[in-house]
Amino acid sequence: DISFVKGSATDACAGLVVCELPSLRVVYARCERISLREPYIPGYLAFREVPFLLQLLRVHNTERPELNPELVLVDGNGILHPHRFGLACHLGVLCGTPTVGVAKSLHCVDGLTTRNMRELTAQTCTRAGDSALLVGDSGAVWGAALR
């Protein structure tokens, strides 16, 4: 993940945490201060953030190759994206590891709206562990909502 220094649009901290399964015990953690060089352009977040995330993964794999992750979870969208190729897809291709986007906000594509996603999750995701597929008007599965 990348978190910004309060009050700055360019100074940030990039972090990587590797957890052991099934215990979720943290086995590796690294944070680096960074300065983002690219402007924020909606829909193109990968071009701004992926280079820093990829560098963290490369350092990790050099320092602790025995802990090479089998899966990467990243703060960003994957195929649930206007171009069907968000930050998670971009990072996954470049690092060669399956990558899942865990986004905080919804890209409204193919008829998916914040309103109908809230209605869907209110009906189907009432308990921890519940999930619902995010199916667009075209019938394409764009992702899933999890609780």
pLDDT digits (tens, 9 = 90+) for 50-96: 999 999 999 999 999 999 999 999 999 999 999 999 999 999 999 99
pLDDT digits (tens, 9 = 90+) for 5-36: 999 989 999 999 999 999 999 999 999 999 99
Q: Which long-range contacts (CB under 8 A, 24 or more apart) does 52-57 make?
A: 52/2, 52/14, 53/2, 53/14, 53/16, 53/91, 54/91, 54/94, 54/95, 55/14, 56/14, 56/15, 56/16, 56/30, 56/32, 57/16, 57/95, 57/97
> pTM of the full predicted structure?
0.90
pLDDT digits (tens, 9 = 90+) for 96-112: 999 999 988 888 999 99
